[in-house]
Amino acid sequence: MKIKKAHIIMLIIFVSFFLIFYQSKKDNSISLEISNDFIKKFSINPVSNNDDSTTFNGKYRNLAIKIKMLKGVTLNQAENYISDKMFVINSLYREIDSPYPGALSNRIECGEEFKPEKKVNAPFDYYIAYASDRFTYGTCSWDLIEYKSIIYYAYCNKTKNLYQIELFMPKNEESSDYEKSLKGIIC
């Protein structure tokens, strides 16, 4: 009797591992409704889901990707969202009054080399920015910067979904090949 229970438990464990492995290997670009060969390389998993958006995170080699899918937005709403998002990111780099003014400085400012770089693209511009080891923007010191990030947007007319794609690479890595890959995304 104990042997049968052990076999049943082992079978359940085996089937569970098989299903988990199968789920992790499925084509993530289908569930995202966007696709290209570059995105398919990432092991992507959903990390949060609510009524109006779903967020996915993924890894591939020394790259990390964060994809936020905003559901059911018009093109005008997408443009407003991007404008608001970039306003928030750019505000992290604005000059401000020092909370402790002194003899050396009454203002705190971030050098131009740290500020996001706007890249003209149709239908939406994209941005190159530096990020910390926690994937956050606004870092203005080379010793605190871990990543270079491409903040890219793709809009699917058919489904009315906006995709905010943040690709993180080592800070000294050239981004031009990754930019080309992101431009090749299709719905």
Domain ranges of the chain: 29-183
CA 130: distance to chain centroid?
13
Rounded-to-integer distance, Cα 155 and Cα 79, Å: 10
Task: Give the chain as a 3 state SS string.
Answer: CHHHHHHHHHHHHHHHHHHHHHHHHCCHHHHHCCECHHHHCCEEEEEEECCCEEEEEEEECCEEEEEEEECCCCHHHHHHHHHHHHHHHHHCCCCEECCCCCCCCCEECCCHHHCCEEECCCCCCEEEEEECCCCCCCCCCCCCCCEEEEEEEEEECCCCEEEEEEEEEECCCCCHHHHHHHHCCEC
Task: Identify which of 68, 8, 10, 59 has the alpha carbon closest to the alpha carbon of residue 34.
Answer: 68
Instruction: Please give the pLDDT value at position 9.
Output: 59
Instruction: Please give the pLDDT value at position 118.
Output: 95
Q: Which amino acid is at 87?
A: F
Q: Give me the tens of pLDDT residue by residue for the chain, a chain 187 residues long.
A: 566 665 565 555 555 555 454 444 444 444 778 888 999 999 999 999 998 999 999 999 999 999 999 999 999 999 999 999 999 999 998 877 667 666 666 667 889 999 999 999 999 999 999 999 999 999 999 999 999 999 999 999 999 999 999 999 999 999 999 999 999 998 8
Instruction: Please give the pLDDT value at position 132.
Output: 96
Instruction: Please give the pLDDT value at position 95.
Output: 79
Domain 29-183 CATH assignment equals 3.40.1000: yes
